[in-house]
Amino acid sequence: MATLYTHQGENIRKTWLLMGTFLVLVVAVGYGISWYMQTPMFLYVAITFALLMNVGSYWFSDKIVLRMTGAREATRTEFPDLWNVVENLSITAGLPMPKVFVVNDPAPNAFATGRDPEHAVVAATTGLLSILDRSELEGVMAHELSHVGNRDMLVMTVAVVLAGFIAMLSDFLMRTLMWGGGGNRDRSPIFLVVGIAGIILAPIAAQLIQLAISRKREYLADASAALLTRYPEGLASALEKISSYSQPMRHTSHATAHLFISDPYGGGKKSVGQKIGGLFQTHPPANERIKILRGMDV
């Protein structure tokens, strides 16, 4: 039987493989545009714009997320159990105490944000706090602190940068082809067909890889949480309760959905992504996560 450490190593390797594939897509699309336009100027402008835009989002990501989710800072007096759990787990993990926030929402869920452990935030909904016992809450908060410790926010930011970069380059090339731009107009029509196919497929592939990276980070955070608490059953039991709640959160956004421990749109109705094999899901199936947790040898 695979151990906790086996799952951690496996998910890290898969994540780096996905990131490497992302980079190959960026190079391929960028090379195609440069070749077609016979000038690197537009590519340099696109890269500069994408990096500036996303670096800015990265530095202010925690404030943006907190505003979008309607979270408010929690106090030890008002939420002593949540505060104490986060504090104790932070000490155990050797992490700085993150800021603790609460979202007034009956849907049970939680998330972490922030660019690094020194600027981290963990948040839980009031619905989560009302249905979980102490060991289950510890499992969920250990999961979120694992995201902080594993620097998953940084990985997801890089993924967003690359996905947006590919989409922008593809859109630029599409406009160029539509208006007949570029210096290779005498090329075979086959190039146009291949180019248009690449323009359409590249952003889709980028989005699929971005979502896959999110799913893999969830598996890794589950494994790290089990290692931190030495009690995988706590998180497994919490995921059972969370996944049984079918209603979506009051304030949901596709931009922040991947940050939550469970799909904030609810698990009652199957989305298009679930019906075609889950390719477009930001979270792995809860039953798979629970099965892995209960099969761990801690």
Q: Which of 102, 96, 94 is nearest to 137 (CA)?
A: 102
Q: What is the edge-to-edge ordering of all strands in the sheet holding 121-125?
A: 72-73, 99-103, 121-125, 110-113
Catalytic residue among 136, 138, 144, 218: 144
- Is 78 catalytic? The answer is no
How does DSSP classify residue 292?
H
In 38-133, which ranges are continuous DSSP H helix?
Answer: 41-59, 61-69, 80-93, 126-131
By DSSP bridging, strand 110-113 and strand 99-103 are unpaired
- For the chain, where are the E strands, in sequence order? 72-73, 99-103, 110-113, 121-125
**Cα 213 versus chain centre, distance:** 7
Ramachandran region of residue 278, left (φ > 0), alpha (ψ -120 to 50) or beta?
Answer: left
Residues serving a catalytic function are 144
